[in-house]
Amino acid sequence: MAGYMLGQQLDFFEDTTVNEDKTDEIRVRLKEVIGDNPDFKIIERVPITKKGITLPYKLAEKVGDEETVVFLDTETTGLNQTNETIIELGLVKASFSPSKGRLTSIDAIFSEYEDPQKPIPPEVVKLTGITDQDVKGQKINRSKVKDLLDGTTLVIAHNAGFDRPFFEKRFTTFNDLRWACSLKGIDWMDLGFPSHRQEELLHAIGYFYDAHRASTDCLALAWFMHKRPDAFRNLLENAEKKSVIVHAFGAPFDAKDTLKANGYRWDDGTSGNSKHWWREVPESDLDNEKAFLDDLYSSGSDLASYSVKTAENRFRQE
């Protein structure tokens, strides 16, 4: 499949044309200078975020069983999914081999602005560099988004609990996609990463990028998954597992500290449910969780309700 770039703007890419031979030469020279000195570390720009890359961009040899994933990121006017709106959507389509659990190519890059019909807050402008003038009169092309997402095995976002509700609010008919969250869907501590912030993850493996622009964030995440296929395989594996949201209704006030210590979070009723504590657990742990609630307060498991989550409905705003 021929690679392509879509969108109103890709001006946020650096003006440094990709030259892999030159990059390799510089890297070797730097290593010669630094040697084994522990006081210095080489960190380089994520190559696929540079201007001038040719698509499809080969990451590994094709296996023959390739499927597609799409890395997705949004920039928005704020955090409240009810009152705020998307101002930039970034999508990066990639091929991967399910048998090998690795990415093999970057196939398409999409980036478009959207006019929110209200001023962008100063803090958002400072964070993203996106101004009212940038988005004025702009609208994300739905048909292009559909074309890119058609046939996609999985949509990956680094905070799917944030990006999916914003995306589905804007594109109300794209609710049959399967989603995975690289922020919460990877066992980062087991892989040796104390932080799961995307910038820090890239720094840990020797790369940096200009964060908080949608397509650049997607490309950086794809590059990380390419360099750390163990994390990518872990993400794919966890996306296939069922989990259960345990809604602990009827918990007495004096149980709050124990619930909080066991990973429960407080729902103040703004979700539409009555006030209660809740947490998400693997389906295989549900019996143990019910026993925990029964030990904590009378009829705890009977008073609770349970919502099964899969890649189809996980991270969706309820």
pLDDT in tens, 101-114: 999 999 999 999 99
Cα separation, 57 vs 54, in Å, equals 6
| Cα–Cα–Cα angle for 74, 79, 83, rounded to 5 degrees | 100
Picking from 149-153, 239-243, 270-274, 285-289, which range would have the lowest pLDDT averaged per residue? 270-274
Per-residue pLDDT at 12 exceeds 60: no
Place of tokens 């190519």: 105
Q: Show me where the domains of the chain are located.
A: 4-240, 243-309
Beta pairing, strands 305-309 & 243-248? antiparallel
Backbone angles phi, psi at 177, to 5 degrees: -80, 155
Helix ranges (DSSP H) in 183-285: 198-204, 214-227, 229-240, 256-261
pLDDT at residue 10, rounded to an integer: 46
pTM confidence score: 0.87
pLDDT score at 9: 45
Instruction: At 284, list the tokens.
Output: 């295989």
| pLDDT score at 65 | 98
Which pLDDT does position 220 carry in this prediction?
98
Domain 4-240 has CATH 3.40.50.300: no
Residue 119: DSSP 8-state: P
